[in-house]
Structure 1
Amino acid sequence: MNAFEFIGELARRWRTFAWIASGVVMLGTALIVAMPTTYTSSTRLLVSIAGSTTFEAYQNDDVARERINSYIPLLTSEVVSQRVVDELRSSQTAEQLAERVSAARVPPNTSLIDVSVSARSAEDARALADAYAAEFISYTRALETPTGMGAQKVRVTQVSGASNPRSDVPVRLALGIPTALIAIVLGGAAVWIRSGSARGRHPELVQPLKGK
């Protein structure tokens, strides 16, 4: 079946296409609407090391950037999330909370870390973001000790408070585009299958095109 024949089949079997496509759209829309709204708030941390000389300051920048490589997985670990759960007396487990946290270095290769936390309400998202910053700073303060070079000490500070929470509604609305595409593909596939089945039962309907 070539493209022109398929278009003809679509015109003849438009009801099949409409039923399948509309059914997929309705199902996809129902699933999107049923998804709970999630809010995300972010905060920014700065990793720095105090140095007594200019040369040490350059070295400290390198050390701070390297420290970030270990801080990022630590931020998303259950070690820090358990401290947040205890502080806020949350009903979530440390494991559940850790799954809602993401951390990433602010490009390009800076000493800044963006920490994002998602929750079911805007208030919870903002509170969790600030709590994560406070608990991580407290935790790293207890971990870090002087390196022995010019009384250096790794420090983490919160350079921006929790941002206004943003919802995932725009992302969910964007899912309507792939849903519509899937509906069109499945509707066309249904027409193709029905057409092939009909041709198999009635081969006399198949008229090969010949040159005129």
Structure 2
Amino acid sequence: MDLGQFLGILRARWKFAIATVVLGSAATAMYLVLTAPQYGSDVKLFVSAPPSGGQADYAAAFILTQRIESYADLVTDSGTMQRVVDQLGLDESYESVRSKVSAEVIPSTQTVHVKVRSDTPESAQRIAEATGAEVVGLVERLEAPSGDEDPALVARVASEASISDDRVAPNIPLVLGVGILLSIFLAIAGAILRDLLDRTVKTRQDIEDVTGSAVLSTLPFEPEVKREPLITGHSGPLAEALRVLRTNLQFANLDANRQTILVSSAVPDEGKTLVATNLAISLAQSGRSVLLVDADMRNPNVAEMLGLENSVGLVTALVGRATLQAAIQEHPSGIAFMGTGPKPPNPVEVLETQAMRDLLATVRGKFDTVIIDAPPMLPVADASILTTEVDGALLLVRHGSTTREQLRLAVERLETVGGRLFGTILNRTPRRVAGAYGDGYGYGYGYGDIPEIAGTEPRRSPRASSRGQRRAVR
């Protein structure tokens, strides 16, 4: 991983990183608030051998070297601590007291340094004094057990137990600094780990590695799309990216003057309906005659987005209840639109009919470009069936949502039926955004019978009247 990749991961995971640092710092601060302050008291014990002169002094010095570590260890012995508890009349166990006491031999000296930490300065001093006195008595008992002989070693209190109102623990600057540094480390490590475990597609290279196909356009995320989904009259980044897509499509099938293009995605909520609709508008703005067909009979959304009627359309034309001209509406943006019509109980069977193939052949001869908004590839077989009847397909990939496995399976399904993939579109980049554009799916199979339709002219919805009058295509 180079520096650019590292910075890219942090840029993509900045919310997670900041949240981790904030939570870690808050946990550190909470620890400091909830941890009771500790106060210290120190007492130093000097252990020596009584002078006797000659060889005896050398022997005493050797004995002192051997035993002083043992006496430092005996400071926190259970017997010593219990006697301290009894002497002070403490209302706690010797284990509790022992946890507050530590002892060590100061290197190259004959001094045992006893440290006590307690909840109050007075308590720390009392325990230190009692411990020092107890160790002095312990050395005397062990070195002269009979009481009538001179001890080989003696211990004395070299410095009285100290008292201070300054807390010794927790060390606020140290703990806070360590907590923040640890939080930063966890934020960076967590961001890298999440990126390694994340199997979603986020870059053009990810898509090209999986599909072996070029990314025809990268569409930016624009929050305004939810409120105004159509690019009619817009000149923002999304409109420009769609113009790039329109231009690149001209090179996808150079030999064809007329094109039938299917727009699909691996799974629902990738934004295919919005992209198909706006791509059709962008093509119409370039002077081409465009027909937008909503072939998602399970969950049609294009009519609502355009403000047109969906009660008459593809299904009614296929079953002969409306003429092709009556099933097609015009939109003020310049595109012609054919809705799904009433929902059939068997969308797959409808799409597999010879009537469907004939209809696609007919509209292909009437329009320069036919854009078909199809269901996602993986949940149902509808898109796979339609792929065999079109010049090529565009596959929508949602940034940070579609996984590599989903994309691979979608391309595999398309190749299985012999379909042609014109290319892919990376949608809603570069930011990670929760939620969808509103093209949610609820795929089911119990739609019931096709309702009777009076006449051959579709009814205009109130919304259609406000968006522009529908005109039959001649």
In structure 1, runs of 5+ residues without a counterpart are none
Q: CA deviation at 1:203?
A: 6.1
Q: In structure 1, what residue type is equivalent to 2:55? A: F
Distance 2:193 2:60 in 1: 67
Alignment of 1:32 with 2:32, yes or no, is yes
Mean CA deviation greater in 77-86 or 62-71:
62-71
Residue pairs, 1:99-114, within 5 angstroms:
99-108=99-108, 110-114=109-113
1:137-168 alpha-carbon deviations (Å, 9 max, x no partner): 12332332289xx9454211101101234523
Q: In structure 1, what is the equivalent of residue 5 of structure 2?
A: 5
Structure ranking higher in helix proportion: 1
Coordinate RMSD, CA, aligned: 2.6
Q: Give the corresponding residue for 1:127.
A: 126
For residues 203 and 15 of structure 1, do their structure 2 counterparts lie closer, same or farther at Cα, with a shift above 3 Å needed? closer
Distance in structure 1 (CA, Å) of the matches to 2:34 and 2:145: 52
Residue 136 (structure 1) aligns with: 135
User: Secondary structure of the equivalent of 1:189?
Assistant: helix
**Aligned residue type for 1:132:** T
Question: What does residue range 144-159 of structure 1 map to in structure 2 within 5 Å?
Answer: 144-145=143-144, 151-159=150-158
Structure 1 CA distance for aligned equivalents of residues 9 and 141 of structure 2: 72
What runs of 5+ residues in structure 2 fail to find an aligned partner?
A: 209-474
Identity of aligned residues (%): 25
Inter-partner Cα distance in structure 2 for 1:161 and 1:22: 45
Structure 2 counterpart of 1:205, which letter?
R
Partner of 1:87: 87
For residues 111-140 of structure 1, what are the alpha-carbon distances to aligned partners after superposition, in whole Å with 9 as ceiling and x for unaligned?
211111111111111111111111221233
Aligned equivalents of 2:185 and 2:131: distance in 1?
45
Provide TM-score, normalisation by structure 2: 0.40
Q: Size of the alignment, in residue pairs? A: 204
- Match of residue 60 from structure 1: 60
Q: SS of the residue aligned with 2:171?
A: helix
How far apart are the structure 2 equivalents of 1:101 and 1:169? Answer: 14
CA contact (8 A) 1:40 1:122 kept: yes
Does 1:163 find its partner at 2:162? yes
Change (3 A) 1:197 1:101: closer
Q: Using the alignment, how far apart are the partners of 1:105 and 1:81 within structure 2?
A: 19
C-alpha displacement of 1:194: 4.8
In structure 2, how many angstroms separate the alpha carbons of the residues matched to 1:163 and 1:113?
15
Provide the rounded CA distance (Å) in 2 between the counterparts of 1:111 and 1:191: 53
Greater radius of gyration (CA): 2
For residues 203 and 153 of structure 1, what CA distance do their matches in structure 2 show? 79
1:47–1:112 Cα contact (<8 Å) kept: yes
Map of 1:118 onto structure 2: 117
RCO higher in structure (CA 8 A, sep ≥6): 1
